[in-house]
Chains A and B, each alone.
Chain A
Amino acid sequence: MAVDETQFHVLAVDDSVIDRKLIERLLKTSSFQVTTVDSGSKALEFLGLNDGNDNDEDVGVNLIITDYCMPGMTGYDLLRRIKKSSCLRDIPVVIMSSENIPSRINRCLEDGAQDFFLKPLQLSDVNKLRPHLMRT
């Protein structure tokens, strides 16, 4: 199957239906392929991490962008889970939050997030994603 090398696949995680719609539009406008899910656990399921088992499947996701504040698994918890996984740890993770809390931002960056954006996300933020993207 021929893969369009220029189209990157982004997995967007956010519990807000409004924010999912917005981020999907922002990403599609910037020519990304987008999958949105509403929770960290759904994200892990999509990525092939079921019940803590590491599926060695090629999941074809080049970047994960996640909201920080979500019920159940936070964006930070998701980041940690991804970084612990041998097959997912190289996928860049970007975190978004509506709250500008320096200690929160620093903790995410220290624990492996590539970048941290304040909400609401702008097109200029999405443009900053390309350098972080991973070629699978």
Chain B
Amino acid sequence: MDIVNQLQRQFIDHSTSLHREGIVDDQFTELQKLQDENSPDFVVEVVSLFFEDSEKLLNNMARALEQAQGVDFKQVDASVHQLKGSSSSIGAMRVKNACIAFRSFCEAQNREGCLRCLQKVTHEYSLLKNKLQSLFRLEQQILAAGGSIPVAK
């Protein structure tokens, strides 16, 4: 039972730091609450969709900003708007906030500003992805050791 307790402790610590650092907010907790025996992999499934979708959007933004003939800021903004929405839906607070800042540079048609924002959003996204993947790994380890995942409050 000791290994399970250790893993559960790690899970709680990791989860707490995710919230404390603002990487996720209460919406992520809401997602966790929606997971039950009818939908045991709900969080991983939604987050996987989010990862796939986000990487596509980030690529779209990069490509649009690279255009030598002139940047289509409306196109960049459309992708940022989508990423803002989806990050908000899963509780990825820092990614969402980075998108909000990004949109004002799109509106201002400021290419340099947009490139800086893209860098920031990409950084926040990578951080989120790493941390969530660690969290999911801990969950798998707990379950494999016969334990249960501590419930989010």
Residues of A within 8 A of B (CB): 16-19, 21-22, 25-26, 28-29, 69, 98, 119-120, 122-123
* Residue contact B34 to A16, C-beta cutoff 8 Å: no
- For A19, give the chain B residue with the smallest CB separation: B89
Question: Which residues of A lie under 8 Å from residue B42 when comparing CB positions?
Answer: 25
* Residue contact B39 to A19, C-beta cutoff 8 Å: no
| Chain B interface SS verdict (over half) | helix
| Distance A46 CA – B31 CA, assembled complex (angstroms) | 28
| Chain A interface SS verdict (over half) | helix
Residues of B within 8 A of A (CB): 27, 30-31, 33-34, 36, 38-39, 42, 45-46, 49-50, 53, 81-82, 84-86, 88-91
| Distance A45 CA – B50 CA, assembled complex (angstroms) | 27
Taking the nearest CB of chain A, how far is it from the CB of B40, in angstroms? 12
Question: Which residues of A lie under 8 Å from residue B53 when comparing CB positions?
Answer: 16-18
* Residue contact A98 to B85, C-beta cutoff 8 Å: yes
A-B contact pairs, 23 of them (CB 8 A): A16-B82, A16-B89, A17-B49, A17-B53, A18-B86, A18-B89, A18-B90, A19-B85, A19-B89, A21-B46, A22-B31, A22-B46, A25-B39, A25-B42, A25-B46, A29-B36, A69-B81, A98-B88, A120-B89, A120-B91, A123-B30, A123-B33, A123-B34
* Residue contact B86 to A16, C-beta cutoff 8 Å: yes
* Residue contact B49 to A21, C-beta cutoff 8 Å: yes
* Residue contact A98 to B84, C-beta cutoff 8 Å: yes
A120 partner, pick from B33, B49, B88, beta carbons under 8 A: B88
Q: A18-B53, A22-B90, A120-B88 are in contact. List 19 more A-B contacts (CB 8 A).
A: A16-B53, A16-B86, A16-B89, A17-B49, A18-B49, A21-B46, A22-B31, A22-B34, A22-B46, A25-B46, A28-B38, A28-B39, A29-B36, A119-B85, A119-B88, A120-B27, A120-B91, A123-B30, A123-B34
| Distance A119 CA – B38 CA, assembled complex (angstroms) | 24
